[in-house]
Amino acid sequence: MPRFNFTDFKYFEKTPTSPYNLQCKVSDLIFCSRSTRCKVDTVNPETGEYRVVLQGTLDWEDYQPEDYTK
């Protein structure tokens, strides 16, 4: 399983990105977390636009600072 690390957060602000690639990074983030929750903030049925907030705690048990500065 891929390991999500601190530097991967910058990936979420890259636009445009494919839904598949975004799904992979979000999945990596969720699977590497100890806890997660999701809140649907807004949904516009006329335009299809939505906003979802994902919140969680990463599992930093094996955290090695040098691993995340490369």
Q: What DSSP string describes the chain?
A: -PPP-GGGGGGGG-SS--HHHHHHHHHHHHHTEEEEEEEEEEE-TTT--EEEEEEEEE--TT--GGGG--
State the chain's maximal CA–CA distance in angstroms. 47
pLDDT at 68: 47
pLDDT at 42: 97
Helix spans in 1-70 (H): 19-31
Instruction: Give the type of residue at 9.
Output: F
pLDDT at 69: 47
Give residue-wise pLDDT tens across range 11-38.
888 878 889 988 999 999 999 999 999 9
Give residue-wise pLDDT tens across range 44-60.
999 999 999 999 999 87
Instruction: Give the type of residue at 23.
Output: Q
